[in-house]
Structure 1
């Protein structure tokens, strides 16, 4: 590989965007949209990217099993863990770790102030939960649940149609 191609590999691993990686590696911005995907088809570059991904996975200890386990934990997280027995929302520091690590997409809170306008505290009034259905879809795709496939490819129909057409010609239909 050339030094420029090696730089493309390093840049591609940042965000997995071939066009932007090509630009950052020094390829022309004008042609990067075509050059990036073409570089990904290069056997040496593709092998270097695969090897780097494996190395990165070993370094971070994040692999397919880790991702699937994390998705399963997130999918099973109980919202009741965020509330007190009286139904009030607990302070964030009392939430289970899994909720603090990304299951909540947003929080609205209200500040408490005394009669002079001094802040005396705050409480959470609303929690926006991240997309749990998407987690189930990702789990389903990982374990091969066909209901989550975006596109189903059916092979062999073109050949079958050709054979039927030839058979019809032979029989005179």
Structure 2
């Protein structure tokens, strides 16, 4: 493997920030108006590809985050039980009493609305409504399915015989064109 130039090495480290080749090229010092082409060219270079993979591997070892960690986390999030957020009376527990998996990103937000009766000085709070906004847990199942190659989540569908059909249609069009002469 050839050694990278300082600018190419900077591109590799910047690419790992957000996996956006254009932005990485800009941050690495390539001109803004040519950054898209530069990013594409750099990503196609085998030496840069190897440097990116090596840097990802090093980062994975350093952070202890790998495919097993991601899959375990996704599985834990998919299995998390909403009942764990409520007490025996059906009231929402204080956030600090939620299981860790819920506090680490399964709840996107909590909205608390006070309910009142009466008007003016006679107005008194009679209760409140707590609404939880949850993240898309179905997306986690899709990610798990893709990771373990569940065919239900394939994004690309193969069609066999399309090339032969295209050839037949092309020959038929040539015959029609020949008849029109």
TM-score bucket (shorter structure): 0.7 to 0.9
TM-score (norm 1): 0.82
> Which of 102, 114, 117 matches 1:99?
102
> Which of 80, 83, 86 matches 1:77?
80
Runs of 4+ in 1 over 6 A off after TM superposition: none
> Which of 125, 130, 136 matches 1:131?
136
Q: Which has the larger radius of gyration?
A: 2
Q: Are 2:165 and 1:152 equivalent residues in the alignment?
A: no
Q: Are 2:85 and 1:86 equivalent residues in the alignment?
A: no
- Give me the whole-angstrom Cα distance separating, in 1, the residues matched to 2:131 and 2:165: 58
Which residue pairs with 2:148 in the alignment? 143
Structure 1 alignment gaps of length 5 or more: 113-122, 167-173
The Cα offsets for residues 95-141 of structure 1, whole Å up to 9 and x where unpaired, read as 000000000011112579xxxxxxxxxx7711111100000000000
Q: Report the count of equivalent residues.
A: 157
> Which of 50, 53, 57 matches 1:54?
57
**Aligned partners of 1:9 and 1:48 also within 8 Å:** yes
Aligned positions of 1:12-91 closer than 5 A = 12-91=15-94
Cα 1:37–1:75 change in 2 (3 A) is same
